[in-house]
């Protein structure tokens, strides 16, 4: 599952630049630099914690699922 596309389908973000800065608290070009690897496990864990604090528990659960099943080469 691609977290960025999940947020895009739900209308929460319109671009990778927006997703990188608004949700991952990273530089605007973060996802572009990561390429096909997607966000690191650290970035996804921070996203999970933010979503829980905001009470967006279903989205947090989807992010947690993605973190648990990350391939080893994507984790960092």
d(CA 57, CA 38): 22
What is the reported pTM? 0.83
> Is the model more confident about 30 or about 71?
30
Give me the chain's average pLDDT, please.
90
pLDDT of residue 49: 95
Banded model confidence at residue 61, pLDDT cuts 50, 70, 90: very high
List alpha helices for 1-76, DSSP H: 3-9, 16-18, 30-34, 41-53, 57-68
d(CA 75, CA 69): 10
Query: Locate tokens 């933010």: which residue?
Result: 50
Contact 3, 47 (CB under 8 A): yes
d(CA 46, CA 12): 17
Q: What is the pLDDT of residues 3-25, one digit of tens each?
A: 999 999 999 999 999 999 999 99
């Amino acid at each position: 599952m691609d977290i960025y596309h999940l947020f895009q389908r739900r209308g929460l973000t319109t671009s990778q630049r927006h997703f990188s800065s608004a949700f991952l608290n990273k530089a605007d070009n973060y996802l572009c630099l990561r390429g096909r690897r997607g966000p690191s496990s650290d970035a996804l864990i921070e996203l999970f914690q933010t979503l829980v604090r905001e009470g967006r528990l279903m989205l947090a659960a989807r992010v947690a699922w993605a973190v648990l099943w990350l391939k080893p080469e994507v984790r960092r």
